[in-house]
Structure formats: C-alpha cells, structure tokens
Amino acid sequence: MKFIINYSDTSFRRYMSRRSVNPFITKTEKIVLKAMKDLRINPKKVPVFILTFRHGKIDGDANLTRYPEHRIVELTVNLHFIRYSDNKAVRNIIYHELGHLRDMIDPRFNYRPAKVDNMSAHFFKKFVTLWNISIDSRLNKKRLPSAIWGRKEDIVYFGISDKIVKKIWGKRITYNNLVKYAKTF
C-alpha cells in the first residue's frame, strides 16, 4: 500500500512550515497505521491511502472518501480537532472512519456507492446513523477505540427502536439490511 500524507495549503503554512514536525501530526499517522492493522484492512484492496490534514471547516472531525475507480482512499482529518483533543478522542474518530472503509471493501457487506449517491439527504442521514451504530458497537465489542457513547445518543435522538438496535448492535450486517432498517424509522 502506498501511504501518502497530504496537507491543505493553510495547514502546511500553519503547522508544517516550521523546522520540526508537530508531534500531534506524527501521532495521528501512527494511530491510522495501527487502526488499519487492528481492523485487518487488506492493503491489496487499498493500494493508495491518503491521509490529508486540513485546517478549517470540514464536515465533522474526520471524513473518509473512497475513489473506487482509482482504488484510492482518502481520510481527511481536521487539524484543529487533532491538536486540541485528547488521544482517546482522536483514536475513536480514526478507528470509526476506518471501520467504514473496512465495511466498504468487505464483499460480505456488499457496499453500493451508486445507491448511496442517489439517497435523499434525510434518508442518507438515517442510513449513516445506523451504519455508525453498527461500526461503533462492533469496535466496542472488540475492545477497540470507538465513539459508542455518541451512538447511544443517536439512538435516542432518532427514536430508533430497540428491535432495530438489537439487530445491528455488535453484529456484522450488510448494506442491504442497513437500507431496509433505515426505512423503518
């Protein structure tokens, strides 16, 4: 796997134009590599992995983007979050995002990017909420870093039934099942 570190222009000027690399950037690189190992992400399925550090607004603290046509994956991380959060929070978000990648490349999950692109914004939010719950509950079950407490808040906020939670909590489920369950609330 080719592992590339990328910086937005602002990030580079602010953090990398100094003589030494900021320790929180090196720490993040190590967390990503350890998470990929812990999650058993097959490097042959991800020939190019780009870790992008961005300063300023991104959607959330980290985003995972997969470019299947080029077999490239990019994890964009908000430098402000990385710099001012404790190690646990940084590990939680990185393991969570790479949990999405693990599912995407697993043929049993049967990920369908074209169908995701055609979802309405409201339905997509419900779908992703269930997927997030599934990922973090599985990470928690394996005693890996996870954002499990935030997922419990999502269950209450979205009014997800106990029946659906029991079907996905700590279990490996398929893309089609996530879609089916998202239609029920």
Q: What share of the chain is helix, strand, coil (3-state, %, to 5)?
A: 55, 15, 30
Cβ of 106: how many Cβ atoms within 10 Å? 17
115 Cβ neighbours under 8 A, 6+ residues apart: 175, 179
In contact, 151 and 132? CB cutoff 8 Å: yes
Q: What is the pLDDT of residue 67?
A: 86
pTM of the model: 0.86
Residue (of 60, 124, 68) closest to 92 by Cα position: 60
8-67: pLDDT as tens digits: 766 666 665 555 556 767 788 889 999 999 999 988 889 999 988 877 666 677 888 888
Domains and CATH numbers, the chain: 2-105 (3.30.2010.10), 113-182 (no CATH)
Confirm if 82 and 90 have CB atoms less than 8 A apart: yes
pLDDT at 176: 94
pLDDT (tens digit per residue) in 60-91: 778 888 887 788 899 988 877 877 788 888 89
Place of tokens 């029920």: 184
d(CA 90, CA 77): 10
